[in-house]
Amino acid sequence: MLRYIAYRTLVALFLVWIVVTAVFLLLHLIPGDPAELLLSQGGIAADPEAVAALREKMGLNAPLWQQYIAHMGGFLSGDFGESFRDGTPVIGQIALRLPRTLEVIAGAALLATIFGVPLGTYAAIRADGKADALISLLSSVALSTPVFVVGSVVILIFAQELKILPAGGFVPFSQNPLEHLKLLLLPAGTVAIALWAVITRMSRASVLEVLQRDYVRTARAKGLGRSRILRRHVVRNALIPVLTVLGLEMGTLIGGTVLVEFVFNWPGLSGYLVAAVDARDYPEVVGIVMTISVLFVFLNLVVDVVNALLDPRISLVKS
Site for another protein in 34-53 (CB under 8 A): 34, 37-38, 40-42
Smallest distance from the beta carbon of 89 to another protein, in angstroms? Answer: 19
Instruction: Give the C-alpha separation, 22 to 38, whole Å.
Output: 19
Q: Would you give the distance in Å from CA 91 to the centre of its chain? A: 20
Query: In terms of residues, how long is the chain?
Result: 319
- Binding another protein (rule: CB under 8 A), the pick from 117, 283, 293, 301 is 293
Using CB under 8 A, count the residues that bind another protein. 95
231 contacts another protein (rule: CB under 8 A) = no
Instruction: Give the C-alpha separation, 194 to 211, whole Å.
Output: 26
55 contacts another protein (rule: CB under 8 A) = no
DSSP class of residue 158 equals I
Instruction: Give the C-alpha separation, 305 to 109, whole Å.
Output: 17
Residue 195's identity, in one-letter code, is L
Binding letters toward another protein, positions 250-289, x by CB under 8 A:
xxx-xx--xx--x----------xx-xxx-x-x--x---x
Instruction: Give the C-alpha separation, 259 to 248, whole Å.
Output: 19
Instruction: Give the C-alpha separation, 14 to 290, whole Å.
Output: 14
Nearer to another protein, 111 or 219 (CB): 219
List the interface residues with another protein, window 78-107 (CB under 8 A).
Answer: none
DSSP for 11-77, please give it: HHHHHHHHHHHHHHHHHHHSSS-HHHHHH-BTTBPPPHHHHHHHHHHHTTTS-HHHHHHHHHHHHHT
- Binding another protein (rule: CB under 8 A), the pick from 109, 117, 192, 230 is 230
Stretch that binds another protein, among 54-62, 77-85, 107-115, 307-315 (CB under 8 A): 307-315
List the interface residues with another protein, window 106-165 (CB under 8 A).
Answer: 124-129, 132, 140-141, 143-149, 152-153, 155-156, 160-161
Binding letters toward another protein, positions 187-226, x by CB under 8 A:
------------------x--xx-xxxxx-xxxxxxxxxx
Nearer to another protein, 189 or 256 (CB): 256
Instruction: Give the C-alpha separation, 250 to 296, whole Å.
Output: 7
Smallest distance from the beta carbon of 307 to another protein, in angstroms? Answer: 11
316 contacts another protein (rule: CB under 8 A) = yes
Residue 249's identity, in one-letter code, is E
